[in-house]
Amino acid sequence: MDKQDINTEHSHGYGIYVLVWLGLLALTGLTIAVAGMNIGGFTIATALIIASVKGYLVLAIFMHLRDESMMFKVFLLVAAFFLIITFILLFSDYSFQ
């Protein structure tokens, strides 16, 4: 019983996954719609924001991150932090040289 409790903890119904899938499809449609509009520099920002929301949905629901312990989330944040730092440092160097 013990092993069952530790190792097989999270089980949700199918519904949430179908909902997230529909959400992802809707956001894909939104990305395409926004790309068709001419809003200059906001186009890429909007595309990246929508992609990040989609990525968050996949991470949290499909990859069960919301059910994992704090350790998993901290690990991901550390990994993401270093990637973002690399981007910021590189661009701060590149834009002003």
Partner 1 sequence: MSANTIVHAEVHVHRDDIGARLGMWLFLFTELILFGGMFIVYSVYRFTYPEEFHLAAQELNTIIGTLNTIILLTSSLTMAVSIVAIQKNKISLSLFFQFATIFLALFFMVNKYFEWTAKFDHGIYPGSDTLLNESSGQILFFGLYYMMTGLHGLHVIIGIVMIAFMMRFTSKGIVSYDNYVKLENTGLYWHLVDIIWIFLFPLFYLIS
Binding site for partner 1 (CB under 8 A): 2-4, 6-8, 11-14, 17-18, 20-21, 24-25, 28, 31-32, 35, 43-44, 47-48, 50-51, 54-55, 58-59, 61-64, 68-69, 71-72, 75-76, 79-80, 82-83, 86-87, 90-91, 94-95
Closer of 42 and 69 to partner 1 (Cβ): 69
Helices 15-36 and 42-57: crossing angle in degrees, nearest 10, is 170
Nearer to partner 1, 42 or 58 (CB): 58
> Which of residues 64 and 66 has its CB atom nearest to partner 1 in the complex?
64
CB of 29 to partner 1, least distance (A): 9
The CA distance from 74 to 88, in Å, is: 20
